[in-house]
Amino acid sequence: MKTLHDYYRPLGATGLMVSPLGLGTVKLGRDQGVKYPNGFTIPDDRKAADLLALAHELGINLIDTAPAYGHSEERLGKLLKGQRDNWVIVSKVGEEFESGQSRHDFSAQHTRFSVERSLRRLGTNCIDLVLVHSNGHDLDILEQSDVYTTLETLKREGSIRAFGLSGKTVEGGLLALDKGDCAMVTYNLNEQSERPVIDHATAIGKAILIKKALASGHVCLGSGVDPVQASFELVLGHPGVASAIIGTINPLHLSHNVRVAASVIESRR
């Protein structure tokens, strides 16, 4: 069985080492307003625990969650009890999802409240990385709100190890890297406009996480071409990428993704 144990990468200058694939957990907590081609049922605790155990067995140590992912944080807090040392946990601030609607709040007060709530939900005294969940107005968020300065204070206080932006623009990603530790960008076979952010991170030694590496399941290629392999060749082939977050609750998909990612990385060594 191929695993990712031998292929961990530095998460920028944070001192953390992460698996080249991370597990996205929106589907553990929310089934409304998610942009996947097929419907799904939120797994029960048994299935969720089995999925996390499989991810760990396959060498995945990075887990991505957010307050906007419904009950994801609370469920992870229970499911990962006693396993904190096995995981690098990424959560977010700035977006809330209530009654089927998203709302955003980047104020200092809400940022601190959100991180403290995530700490309680996740059952930990420190979150490894907190990203600002952008509403698309990246520069306004970084320049006009107090979210980044508040996260910097929380990092000094020891509540978080690192911070950054899950953004939607090149300009936002570049500024986020200069002032913080990490940028999460969209990068896949269909969408590569944020590549300059990855290139900049490589040049200055900061961290990059990739979202939508498989285009939220929408990647389609000609017959005979494995879309997962082609996607990972692109994404994991860039030296600036620490990890690609893949949101799946299907054990077979998870195993296939890991097998393909390991083969792609191996072939480049």
Active site residues: 69
Query: Which residues lie across from 104 on neighbouring strands?
Result: 95
SS3 of residue 1 by DSSP: coil
Residue listed under structure tokens 């799946």:
248
Q: What share of the chain is helix, strand, coil (3-state, %, to 5)?
A: 40, 20, 40
Integer Cα distance of 19 and 10 in angstroms: 9
Residue 164 neighbours by CB under 8 Å, 6+ apart: 129, 130, 131, 132, 176, 177, 180, 181, 182, 183, 184, 207
Tokens of residue 210, six digits: 């990739």
List CB contacts of 260: < 8 A, sequence separation 6 or more.
226, 228, 229, 232
